[in-house]
A and B are shown apart, each in its own frame.
Chain A
Amino acid sequence: AQRVTQPEKLLSVFKGAPVELKCNYSYSGSPELFWYVQYSRQRLQLLLRHISRESIKGFTADLNKGETSFHLKKPFAQEEDSAMYYCALSMGAQKLVFGQGTRLTINP
């Protein structure tokens, strides 16, 4: 069955420290993976997608098919990065399966 696992429900780091939010997936086909983010009092929105191979707000994520992972990284955390982060897997037909989410808190 298709599944997305985010092992950390809560993650707290200090401003300026590196951040890594973990995401592992289970899917027999060719995966398309995304990170969505929800800032306080805002809507869920796309942060980045692996197919674009882009860096958004200093975040990057590399698809590792061998480890079935798509971890989100940022070298220097900023206070405005505090939010809920969801990893999502597309199984085709534009259908997404979301992980449970990680609440990231950046301490000053």
Chain B
Amino acid sequence: EAGVAQSPRYKIIEKRQSVAFWCNPISGHATLYWYQQILGQGPKLLIQFQNNGVVDDSQLPKDRFSAERLKGVDSTLKIQPAKLEDSAVYLCASTLAGGYNEQFFGPGTRLTVL
């Protein structure tokens, strides 16, 4: 079975620029997550979707970050404008709905903000 796909794999931008990341979850996985992983730290949940609805976005910096999952499949995460402290790996994960199911992670997008 194909895994979670993410693109791009690497992105370098200057501060105040905009950037967008794309994620395609495993087919049939209703729940999708975006995590931010800063160097030396564990992944931190930014937003959780169930189908095309937001379950939890309490840690998403909404003044600059936005995310959508319009058709309940692919998702995009956008940062506008980027700050230096946004430099991190952005991970997408998906899982089946319900219960304590395993989360399957994508390869991540490494963002560097100069």
Residues of chain A having any CB pair with chain B under 8 Å: 4, 9, 32, 43-46, 49, 51, 86, 88, 90, 93-101
The answer to whether A49 and B42 touch across the interface, beta carbons within 8 angstroms, is no
In the complex, the answer to whether B106 meets A43 with C-beta atoms within 8 Å is: yes
Chain A residues within an 8 Å CB radius of B40: 9, 100
Contact present for A96 and B103 (CB under 8 Å): yes
- Kindly identify, within residues 11 to 55 of chain B, every residue whose CB is under 8 Å from any CB belonging to chain A: 31, 40-45, 48, 55
Q: Which chain B positions have C-beta within 8 A of A32?
A: 100
Q: How far is the CB of B26 from chain A (nearest CB, A)?
A: 12
Does B91 make an interface contact (CB < 8 A)? yes
Report the interface size class on chain B: 20 to 34
Contacts of B4 on A, CB cut-off 8 Å? 43
With both chains docked as a complex, state the minimum distance between the C-beta of A84 and any C-beta of chain B, in angstroms.
9
Separation of A88 and B91 alpha carbons in the complex (Å)? 15
CB closest chain-B residue, reference A46:
B102
Whether the Cβ atoms of A94 and B42 lie closer than 8 Å is no
